[in-house]
Amino acid sequence: MTLFRYSILLSCLLLSVGYVTQAQSKQQLHSLLGNMPAKPHERPDTLEKLRIDNGWRYHLKFLAEDSSTLLHTPKDFIYAYLFVPDAAARQKLPGMVAIHQDGSHNYLGYLETAGIAGDADQHYGLELYTRGYIVICPDRFLHNKRRRIANPDTLADVFDKADLAEQHWVGQLLSTGRNFIGKEVYDLMLATDVLMETQGIDRKRIGAVGHSAGGQILPYFMFADRRITAGISSCGVVEQADWFAEDAISKRNLLAVIPSFTLLARTSDFMGRLAPRPLLLTRGLFEWGKENSRQRENSKRHVASTLQLVEESTVAYKAKNVGEHLQTIYFDEEGGRHSFPPGVKAKAFGWLDKYLKTP
């Protein structure tokens, strides 16, 4: 069955059973993100100011959370690269939060989105700067200097040590009424605070883009922070119920679990709440491979899950007469693998410009 026919069939099924997204109240959905600490009120420190082509790159450090005697946790600082075009001195420019991936590159973190290290297709923070955006590339917690291991700033893959430290930190969050996704959202809101105070920023034109785990976080971030007016999730967001199902394509690390999530909501409830704000998803047709029948079947299931997620979320967008604001790019460029290839990126950035480049 083609993707188009599958989409039509699924639409009819959803209508026939009377499916309605946004089943839960906004307050209930917020509660799933867990407790949120009070924001600190400290200005970021500038660790470096570097002249680059047509602008400046700032290396920043700012406090996310103070130390606590409850679990003897240290101060938690966020590191970020901030790109400011020269044009910001003359006119208001749109802003962008670039959210990096993770996996085996947790030792790189924000160096990838800033274009300093890592995979070339992950340099989208720097690339958006060259398109005229003021861009902040924050380091997500559990990455780079924010790994709670010996010598966290070393550019080395010490995955085993880092993995145990990650589980310990998330355990601390869970024991205090918080969770992984909620912590990510909180940190990104702080990064947005910094972006909003940057000279030349147009506060009404702020977007966000994330790949893989960065894209998985994006809808929850946009749900919690309405300052984000458009977003791109590259090979990212998935339905939580599919993620932890017994017959999931792969067994999952518990780090990303949201306690009680499947009892109260679906991921489409969060995505539906973003309407009318524009949201673009990308999904490779063969993110789980295509070398054998099992890989092809897993990739097909992954795409089918995305189709259903989008169909459920579209109900809320159509209810506000903005169905076109929720778009998906299914691609086979570069083998349809889990990536952000040039052609897809060009389409995605063009889509983003349409909503954010016009004052």
Domains contained in the chain, CATH given: 3-356 (3.40.50.1820)
Helix (H, G, I), strand (E, B) or coil at 126: helix
The better pLDDT of the pair 24, 261 is held by 261
Nearest Cα to 55, choosing from 22, 77, 15, 88? Answer: 88
Alpha-carbon gap, residue 47 to 193, rounded angstroms: 18
**Element spanning 82, H or E:** strand 76-85
What confidence tens digit (pLDDT) does each residue in 67-110 have?
A: 999 999 999 999 999 999 999 999 999 999 999 998 777 889 99
Q: Tokens 């605070």 map to which residue?
A: 193
Residue 12 above 90 pLDDT?
no
Query: From residue 113, how far is each of 7, 83, 195 by CA, in Å?
Result: 33, 11, 16
What confidence tens digit (pLDDT) does each residue in 214-250 have?
A: 999 999 999 999 999 999 999 999 999 898 999 999 9
Strands 279-284, 326-331: pairing kind: parallel
Nearest Cα to 34, choosing from 181, 167, 170? Answer: 181
Alpha-carbon gap, residue 199 to 183, rounded angstroms: 27
pLDDT of residue 24: 62
Alpha-carbon gap, residue 104 to 157, rounded angstroms: 7
Beta bridge partners of 131: none
pTM over cut 0.85: yes
